[in-house]
Amino acid sequence: MVSAAEVLFIEDEDLDRQLVLELLALRGRGRVHVTEAHGFHEGLVHLRGRRFDLILLDTKLSEISALSALRTVGEVAPDTPILPHNPFITTQLRQAARLRGPFDVAIRGDLNPLWSAVESLLVLESGQRRSA
């Protein structure tokens, strides 16, 4: 049995965090284990403590610029793919989530491009996931 992919999710906005967590839970079907970090510095603590298969990074964090965040995360975890998820979460998507709820937005496919990017980086098929 292949273990779940380990994803570090760095996001400081509650609604964006809910959207992505719903997506990963629904589409990942137990194949993705998410460690949440509600800010950049919390994320670094997790990164320094263990290995992840993917880092989902908010590049609009209040603590640090996008370039500095990407550079720092890349230095701390040079072999881990980083997926900035902001381009996938549009103003329209946030509004739909507010009206319909994060679960509804995730199951209707509004976040399919984000899931496709996550899945392609993780290769969630049995035995094909990147090994340590």
95-128: pLDDT as tens digits: 998 998 888 888 887 888 999 999 999 875 444 5
The residues with which 82 forms a beta bridge, in sequence order, are 55
The CATH number of the domain covering residues in 5-122: 3.40.50.2300
34-60: pLDDT as tens digits: 999 999 999 999 999 999 999 999 989
Q: For the chain, what are the domain ranges?
A: 5-122
pLDDT at 124: 55
pLDDT at 125: 44
